[in-house]
Structure 1
Amino acid sequence: MDNHEFINLAIEKVQEHINGRPTRGSNGSVCVSMYNVYVVWQVKVLQNYKALLSTSLEGDQHYYEVTYNGDKKQLYLDVYDKQENKCFEVDD
């Protein structure tokens, strides 16, 4: 797997996750295109890949982490929610 294939697969898995989840207050489901999902950060170390992704969907406070284990040929999707945001003053 190369970097381009990994990123496309990561975006696809985030889309599948969101499209399979019902929206709040509606009878349908969200329809997410590849243009709603973007990569925040990515890295490749040896045969392993990791990417952090987000969406441009209003109200989606999820953060998606996709990891590919090249040894086992397995892809993992972790979904995180923003719990809180704290600000700290830092003296230089």
Structure 2
Amino acid sequence: MNENDFREWCKKEVCNYTNNHLDKTDKKKITTDDVFVVWSCKTLQNNKALLSTTVSDGMYYECTYNGDKKEMYIDAYKKWENFKVEISNEEPRKEILKDFYGNEICKL
């Protein structure tokens, strides 16, 4: 599947999902023109895209196409918050990660 076909398929599926989950009393529907691709990539026969819509509901969507199985998986997420984390000038903490057997993997 080429990248353009994949992105259009994603937009169609996100549009359908959104319309099926909108409050029916609002009597509002979106079109694929209201769905936008934030990021996408293709690796070998697989594709992945992150999408959102013009609906201000905080939702975003991750579409993953498995080229071996010829199927797409869609994850629907809700953005809860956005906050800043500043880098401190303190000495970074030092931890040692170990595997199941107690062997050192890396130091943080």
Q: Give the TM-score band, short-chain normalised.
A: 0.7 to 0.9
> Is the radius of gyration larger for structure 1 or structure 2?
2
**49, 52, 62: which is aligned to 2:50?**
52
Structure 2: tracts of 5 or more residues without a match: 90-108
Task: State percent identity of aligned pairs.
Answer: 40
- The reply to whether residue 76 of structure 1 matches residue 79 of structure 2 is no
- Whole-angstrom distance in 2 between the partners of 1:29 and 1:67: 30
Amino acid at match of 1:49: N
Contact 2:58/2:80 (8 A) holds in 1: no
Structure 1 stretch displaced more, 82-91 or 45-54: 82-91
Q: 2:10 is matched by which residue type in structure 1? A: A
Please give the TM-score of this superposition, normalised by the length of structure 2.
0.74
Q: Determine helix, strand or coil for the equivalent of 1:19.
A: helix
* CA–CA separation in structure 1 for the residues paired with 2:9 and 2:84: 35
Q: Deviations over 1:38-86 (max 9, x none)?
A: 00000000000000001112x2200100110000001111001112222
Q: Which has the higher contact order (CA 8 A, sep 6+)?
A: 1
Q: Which runs of 5+ in 1 are unaligned?
A: none
- 1:6 is matched with 6
Number of aligned positions between the proteins: 89
Residue in structure 2 matching 1:66, options 63, 68, 73 = 63
